[in-house]
Structure formats: structure tokens, C-alpha cells
Amino acid sequence: MIVVTGATGRTGRRVTEVLLAKGEKVRAVGRDSKKLAPLVQQGAEPFVANAADVDLMSIAFAGASAVYLVLPEDISQPDLRAHQERVSDSYAAAISKAHVPFVVNLSSMGAQHSKGTGPIVGLHNQEHKLNQVGGLNVLHLHAAYFMENLLMSLAPLRSTGTLPGGLLADTQMPWIATQDIGAYAATRLAACDFSGNSIHELQGQRDISMKEAASIVGNSIGKPSLEYVQLPSTILERVLLGMGLPETTAKLIIEMWAGANAGLMVAQETRSARNTTPTTLESFVERVFAPAYLQTV
């Protein structure tokens, strides 16, 4: 039995579907039974639970040969960082209580830093807590910048005609599609071919600047002259608050972007076949971003 937390999320859903296709027995953990229903139809065993409830998570992890952990970014929380700590405490305690032997933990580039990276600090702390669990073999996936983050720009793009953001325009950085993270995690969960505490980077298909990303987006939506605009933090905060984020969460995201601009979230490994994944930003924009944008215009 492999247990997948965040099973209705972007990476968790992909992990679950790939494992089921491999013939693995999967327990899919989520907060909403209705959202779990499509995975149940594919053969998953549902388990409805709040990840911060250590007793329920201990039951969810019971009998697991391996667990996929996702630290939820619940933007409804008034204090996201405090919520992250409650969940990571719950995960570590439940993993220990259930004597889980293998964990694949979704983390991020920049998680080696204990401060200055916004919500990624929560991932740093979760790694540390899991590393302290006796007898646990844990693989931390340091994933690149999510291509799906572009979707946050849909409304501003529609209203301003530009692609806005907080990152530097010309700095090259690795981008990754969450479907590739899920596929990779599923392979390692099925194999349980790691030991001790280890880190594996997932760098996406190639490094891309925000300026290049704007060009790719523009060509896909019929705006070939689309420009990327780096916004000041004060304006960014207003935009994020306008999207319904709590003030504390908005400030964390701005801190994350500032950390990225300061070089805190760069790859630590040389790019190779081992850490490169297949989805291009062009294909992601054509398949996901452009249809979402064209539905709103």
C-alpha cells in the first residue's frame, strides 16, 4: 500500500494516477470526499482527513510501504507558516507512529535555507523533522519553479495587457511542470530504491527567463509583442490581496520572490539527464495556460 497525501492536488493526483496505472494499491488522502471520487473510480482507496490531525494521519499511514508527502499551501489560513508547522509536526509524528519505511517528500529548490524564502521555509523545516525520524528512508525532491505559477497572471494579463510578476526579467531559472514531478515521484515510490536521507533535484526541461516566458505566452495567445513587467513589492502586495490572499500570505510570497532574485533558489546540481524532465514551457502554455486565458477573454 502506497499512501499519497494531497491526492487531489496537482502533483498528488498525478502520483496517484501513475501508481494506479502501474497496478499499485493506493490510499489517496484528501480533505474533500467529492474531489477524491474520480481517483476512487480509478481504484484508489479514499481517506478523508485534515493533514494537521496527527491521530487521523497515523491511521492513514498505517500499513504503508511508502508515503508521498505534500505540505499544503492553504491560502485560506490566516497564518500560513504556523499552519505549515502544524502539518509538518503531524506528518513526522504520524510517520514515526506508523513505522513507515519510505517517504518521498515534495520540497523545493531553496529549501536548504532556513530563512528568507517565504513559504519555502516551511519545506526546510519539514525536511529537518523527517530527517529526525528514526529508521526512515526519505527522499526530498527539490523541485524547480512551477510552470503552473503562470496561472496567477491570468487576471492581471487580461486587465493590463502585460505579464506581471515579482521576479527579475532576464535571470535564467529552471521551470518544471507539476505533472513531471508527480510522474517522477510515483516511480521512486514504487521502487523504494533510496536509503537514509537524500535530496534529488528536478530542474524541468530547461532554464528560462521571465522575459522569454512572456514571449512564449504571447506567441501562444496571439500577442507576440507581450512584455514581462517586474512590479514593485508594494504593487505586488496589492495585487495578491486583490486575489483574496491574507496579508501574511501575500508578504510570504513577496519574500519568496525577493529570495529568488537574491539567488537563494538556484539549482545546486549541474543539469543532467538525471535531473531534467520532459515537459517544455511551450507545450505547457499551449496545453494549459492559453486555453485558460482564452476562456477569460
* Residue 59: closest CA among 68, 70, 48, 43: 48
* Residue 248: closest CA among 119, 154, 121: 119
* Residue 175: closest CA among 81, 18, 289, 16: 289
Cell representation of residue 22: 502501474
pLDDT at site 80 = 94
Q: Round to whole Å and give the CA distance between 157 and 226.
A: 9
Backbone angles phi, psi at 248, to 5 degrees: -65, -40
pLDDT at site 297 = 57
What are the beta bridge partners of residue 230?
Answer: 165
Three-class SS state of 104: strand
DSSP per-residue codes, 133-185? STT-EEEEEEE-EEGGGGGGGHHHHHHHSSEEESS-SS--EEEE-HHHHHHHH
Q: In this predicted model, what pLDDT tens digit does every residue of 212-267 receive, in sequence order?
A: 999 999 999 999 999 999 999 999 898 888 888 899 999 999 999 999 999 999 99
pLDDT at site 244 = 85
pLDDT at site 270 = 96
DSSP state of 287: I
Hey, what domains does the chain have and what are their CATH numbers?
Answer: 2-146+176-202 (3.40.50.720), 207-296 (3.90.25.10)
What are the beta bridge partners of residue 143?
Answer: 108, 202
pLDDT at site 296 = 66
Enter the pTM of the model.
0.95
pLDDT at site 73 = 83
| Spans in the chain with pLDDT lower than 50 | none
